[in-house]
Structure 1
Amino acid sequence: MSRLTIKDPAKSKSSETFLKVLRFIGRYRFLLILSIILAAVSVILQLYVPILFGNAIDQVIAQHQVNFEMMWYYLSRILVMVILSSAATWLMNVINNRMTYQTVKDIRAKAIRHIQVLPLSYLDGHSTGDIISRIIADTDILSDGMLLGFTQLFSGIVTIIGTLIFMFSKNFWITLMVIVLTPVSFLVAKFISSHTFQMFRKQSDARGRQTALIEEMIGNQKVVQAFGYEEKSSERFAKVNEELQECSLKAVFYSSLTNPSTRFVNNVIYACVALVGTFIIPGGRLTVGGLSVLLSYANQYMKPFNDISSVVTELQNALACAGRIFDLLEEEPEVAEASETLKDVKGEVDIKNVCFHYDESKKLIEDFNLHVKPGMRVAIVGPTGCGKSTFINLLMRFYDVNFGSISVDGKPIRDITRHSLRSSYGMVLQETWIKNGTVRDNISIGKPEATDTEIIEAAKLTHSWEFIRRLPKGLDTMLNEDSLSQGQKQLLCITRVMLCLPPMLILDEATSSIDTRTELQIQEAFERMMEGRTSFIVAHRLSTIRNADLILVMKDGSIIEQGTHDELIAKGGFYHTLYNSQFAKVSE
């Protein structure tokens, strides 16, 4: 009858994570080997010191019979050994520091690069705070665990091997007794540490949720205060905080049992060495100096077990955090890039039988068909949630269609590079983004080589120059996310596109945060900008799209009406109702 072997998932996960960390460390194998050599040198020199002490003690032959000359000889050698050992230890720590922080730097750099190629579906499905926690907090904990691990592990292994060799040279049977009793200490440490990995994993997850909640509340503090959500927000934080406290206490408590447990076992071994040694000294098989050497070695032999067991907490915590980092690094990236680039874009867009959904259980866009000629202005209108912004995401290939195809100038967008596709569009969204940098940096994102004259000209066309010139340092004023009003941010985003003037435009509620007077002025700039360019305009204010060549009326992911403004009004359908609902009072 065959025996079924069941693997412990926590142990398996911990081992896999450790191997992944080793693969990153492998890039610095020269430093790793040098660190091991220095650890060996440092430990061997330290282990030679007890022998010299034992020899010095044996120079005390009897009362008033002391060989001071040899004693001072041994003591001077001890001093040299201690100095050399300290120098080797210092150099080993420097190397371990460098190796650890280089490895963590590589992991962080890879994580940031990987985020750039992850599909938006992953970023939409995970909170920003949790992702930040993985890259910053988890990697910090990993570096602390690695640093302690390397320092204790290398020295500990060499110490264990070296002490056994020196102890065998002094007394075989006492050394054998120490080896036989050692597995007890191992078993105790292994039993406790094998049950703590999952606890630290839960602690890391709770810390990620806490970071996400803090980022969410601080980033939206105005909304929190405006709706009197402070108390509810504090309750949510208290709940997550309490969960983190509970996970942390359990993880640290159980893992902290390792060190005192192994120390107890090791002290018992030390007492056994002392007891057996005192019994064999009268028989002449061991001297007093020899016993002092064995006791010193027994203490040094057991010290690595104590040190390593005390580091187990940090190592388990580090591996749990590393597991979260590798979960991010192993997420499937976007579909591989095609090799063909889009050049000399005319702006002809074909959409054939496109179907798309974020969630398989909820259909969104079904059997979408559209042919857009170069230079056409296509407006997309419809109720909230009908698929307007999703359609834009598909055009830019932020998401890939589930079925059907989208082509630009006869080339399916799956067959061209994302960069060449996206650089062919100028995009102004309702949601704005301002990076930390000068006004000039923010405007010239799409055209870094632009001159100040070009930037100012574009700013004047979009009427953003009015507030830019009033800033303390004009174009050199440093900005962050809170430096400007929402309307000013949107004007800067429009200026970016005006500066680049790509062959195709996407305007998704591009003037939603701008006052009516400025909007009328910007419409003139948009008219000039859209001339001869294929443009897709998403708008709730239907007055802004009356001059569109084609208006698509969407509902539940499908085009239910299409035509010019006059055609759709004359038709008296859904668009007619939508339009009249906005302008009924004006017409009255």
Structure 2
Amino acid sequence: MPDAPSPSSSSPPRAGALGVLKTYLGPLKWQVIALATLLLTGTGLNLLLPQLLRRFVDNAKLGSGADVGLLARLAGLYIALAVGVQLLTAGATYVGARVGWTATNRLRADLMRHMLSLDMREHKERTPGEMIERIDGDVTALSNFFSQFAVRVFGAALLLLGAVVMFYLTDWRVGVGITLFVAVTLIAMNRVRKIGVEPTRLERESSAQLFGYVEERLSGLDDVRALGAGEHHLRGFLRVQREFFRRSTFSWRRRAVVWQLSMILFAAGYVGILGAAVGLYAAGAITLGTAFLLYQYMSMVEEPIDQLTQQLQDLQKAGAGLARVGELLALRSELTEGTRDLPDGPLDLRFEHVSFSYAPEDPGVRPVLHDISFHLPAGQTVGLLGRTGSGKTTLTRLVSRLYDPTEGSVKLGGVDTRDVRLHSLRTGVAVVTQDVQLFQASVRDNLSFFDDSVPDTEVEAALREVGLGRWLARLEDGVRTPLPTGSLSAGQAQLLAFARVLLRDPAVIILDEPSSRLDPATETQLTQAMTRLLAGRTAIVIAHRLETVARADRILVLGDGRVLEDGPRAALARDGHSHYAALLRAGTEELEEGVLA
């Protein structure tokens, strides 16, 4: 199947299958035209085959007076056309699958881009497993639908229409009866189709919950094992799995109603057409070949309706997938897109009366930050200290604009972050957390985030700059060496994260407790890399260990979401009454225990 193309610039599809078809099949119009040509030609040949068969039967009925040469020519032509129909059908299937998968790959890319554009509130409300199921599982259901929709539905509709016309050309009375039969069948199936949509939606929802449950338990597997909670989580898994199984079987039974109704109706239809053919033949109104032709065209009516029946079941799945995809596309980030770029060069950081709450609409939830104001000059580093829950990480999230302040403003280089284009802000502000995300890819891909335009020489220079030169020299294929997950120590992973930042060359760097889990020797190496990384850049360093901020220009101490202290590090260290001086006297241990006045 084709590779997923780059995210499209198309607007989100309108609700319903037709809206999605127009949005994602519209750009593929030439391939759709080619598909329609294959289907039309194949359908025309398919409708011609029973005519040849009628002539063959009527001539063969003559017995010894039959024209053997004509029979041979009819048989040869029938075989040739039958082979042609199969080739055209195979071509239509290939083109249809290519069109369908290309369209849904674009939809999957658009969904991924849309999900990444959402603010953190939406991501906090949904587990990664649930989001994966929405982007992959729901779209896969649509892929199956789109990749077969044109061939099975459009082709079936053409064949059905052609067969009904041939009935009229053969005998108008039979044509009227078949028309009524087809109308009743399609109306009945369309009505019963709707009963499967909601159960299928609940099935997809249950599948997402199952994925979310598994993802959460796997991510916390070490804790589950250490606490002996495996049996408890296994029971929970069985409970979620049981609910998924119950909803799946119930959904299948509802969707099967369409198929069961089709069988009953066509049993009656075949009885009717055979009765009509026998009656007309007995009355001398039609030949034996024509009677056989009526049966053949009835099978051509059954085949497309059977295809439509199967596709209606896929449409039920697609309808549920469309609803859930539509819910995701309907989500809107609360972070509005700005129009300005960050200024070039080092940037100063200013908080002006900033307050923030994760649930501002709920007055019962206390704000995390209260009236925060401070100024960090360009090119300086501030050490951010405070007990757990004091608001340190939240403050840095406002700088990188994962959230917007509830009140007040955050300014970089004199520009309110809400006025800055998100791409410019993400490029100019880099964040390194204590939990470094590594990928099962090469070293260079881990550092460049799969950007092929970054030269290997720049990647190598960044690794040497953070002190990983010897480690790089030991790699068999250099920066092209695969980096299996879990192959690095915590210190090496942090250094790789530093190298990532060096490649981006941002104006502002945020380090969130980079040395909290390191031994003293590794922390010394990390501190040296930090010194090189932060040189000439504006930086915020969150630390539990005072050694981590020993070279900071300023110190900002938070307590209960408020600024307890802000000033030059050297001056605060000399002031015996400052919080920072008290922490220096008490030592790192008390800071880690959260002892703050």
Partner of 1:309: 309
2:113 and 2:591 mapped to 1: Cα distance? 53
Q: 2:529 matched to 1:522? A: no
2:112 and 2:92 mapped to 1: Cα distance? 30
Q: 2:513 matched to 1:509? A: yes
1:124-153, Cα deviation, whole Å (9 max, x unpaired): 322112222223233222222223332221
1:189-231, Cα deviation, whole Å (9 max, x unpaired): 2232111011111111222222222233333322321222221
2:57 and 2:528 mapped to 1: Cα distance? 98
Partner of 2:359: 359
Moved more, 365-374 or 415-424: 415-424
Counterparts of 1:418-457 in structure 2, within 5 Å, are: 418-443=422-447, 448-449=454-455, 450-451=457-458, 454-457=461-464
Contact 1:469 1:475 in 2 (8 A): no
Contact 1:134 1:208 in 2 (8 A): yes
Q: 1:167 to 1:416 in 2, by over 3 A?
A: same
| Structure 2 residue runs without a partner (length 5+) | 1-12, 593-597
Counterparts of 1:18-57 in structure 2, within 5 Å, are: 18-57=18-57
Partner of 1:278: 278
1:131 and 1:382 mapped to 2: Cα distance? 34
Identity rate, percent: 23
1:394 and 1:373 mapped to 2: Cα distance? 18
Q: Counterpart amino acid of 2:454? A: P
Measured after TM superposition, the shift of residue 486 of structure 1 is: 2.1
Partner of 1:198: 198
Partner of 2:577: 571
2:241 and 2:112 mapped to 1: Cα distance? 28
Contact 1:433 1:481 in 2 (8 A): no
Contact 2:114 2:329 in 1 (8 A): yes
Partner of 1:183: 183
Q: 1:383 to 1:30 in 2, by over 3 A?
A: same
Measured after TM superposition, the shift of residue 576 of structure 1 is: 3.6
Contact 1:58 1:289 in 2 (8 A): yes
Partner of 2:466: 459
Q: Counterpart amino acid of 2:398? A: L
1:53-86, Cα deviation, whole Å (9 max, x unpaired): 2222222455644343443343333223212222
Contact 1:184 1:265 in 2 (8 A): no
Partner of 2:165: 165
Could you say what secondary structure the match of 2:16 adopts? Answer: helix
Contact 1:345 1:424 in 2 (8 A): no
Moved more, 567-576 or 52-61: 567-576
Measured after TM superposition, the shift of residue 265 of structure 1 is: 0.9
1:439 and 1:86 mapped to 2: Cα distance? 50
Measured after TM superposition, the shift of residue 42 of structure 1 is: 1.4
Q: 1:474 to 1:72 in 2, by over 3 A?
A: closer
Measured after TM superposition, the shift of residue 270 of structure 1 is: 1.6
Q: Counterpart amino acid of 1:517? A: A
Could you say what secondary structure the match of 1:483 adopts? Answer: coil
Partner of 2:410: 406
Q: Counterpart amino acid of 1:305? A: I
- Please report the TM-score for the alignment, with normalisation by the length of structure 2: 0.87
Partner of 1:10: none
1:64 and 1:476 mapped to 2: Cα distance? 80
Q: RMSD in angstroms over aligned alpha carbons?
A: 3.1
Measured after TM superposition, the shift of residue 257 of structure 1 is: 2.5
Q: 1:581 to 1:102 in 2, by over 3 A?
A: same
1:146 and 1:581 mapped to 2: Cα distance? 64
Partner of 1:8: none
Q: 1:91 to 1:567 in 2, by over 3 A?
A: closer
Measured after TM superposition, the shift of residue 157 of structure 1 is: 0.8
Measured after TM superposition, the shift of residue 536 of structure 1 is: 1.6
Q: 2:505 matched to 1:484? A: no
- Please report the TM-score for the alignment, with normalisation by the length of structure 1: 0.88
| Structure 1 residue runs without a partner (length 5+) | 1-12
Measured after TM superposition, the shift of residue 335 of structure 1 is: 4.0
Q: 2:386 matched to 1:382? A: yes
Q: Counterpart amino acid of 2:265? A: V
Moved more, 415-424 or 281-290: 415-424
Contact 1:196 1:316 in 2 (8 A): yes
Moved more, 431-440 or 395-404: 431-440
Q: Counterpart amino acid of 1:241? A: Q
Measured after TM superposition, the shift of residue 259 of structure 1 is: 1.6
Could you say what secondary structure the match of 2:347 adopts? Answer: coil
Contact 1:149 1:315 in 2 (8 A): no
Measured after TM superposition, the shift of residue 477 of structure 1 is: 3.0
Q: 1:549 to 1:46 in 2, by over 3 A?
A: closer
Partner of 1:370: 374
Contact 2:145 2:314 in 1 (8 A): yes
Partner of 2:109: 109
Measured after TM superposition, the shift of residue 458 of structure 1 is: 0.8
Counterparts of 1:19-418 in structure 2, within 5 Å, are: 19-60=19-60, 64-333=64-333, 335-360=335-360, 361=362, 362=365, 363-418=367-422
Contact 1:18 1:319 in 2 (8 A): no
Q: Counterpart amino acid of 1:102? A: T
Count of residue correspondences: 571
Q: Counterpart amino acid of 1:561? A: E
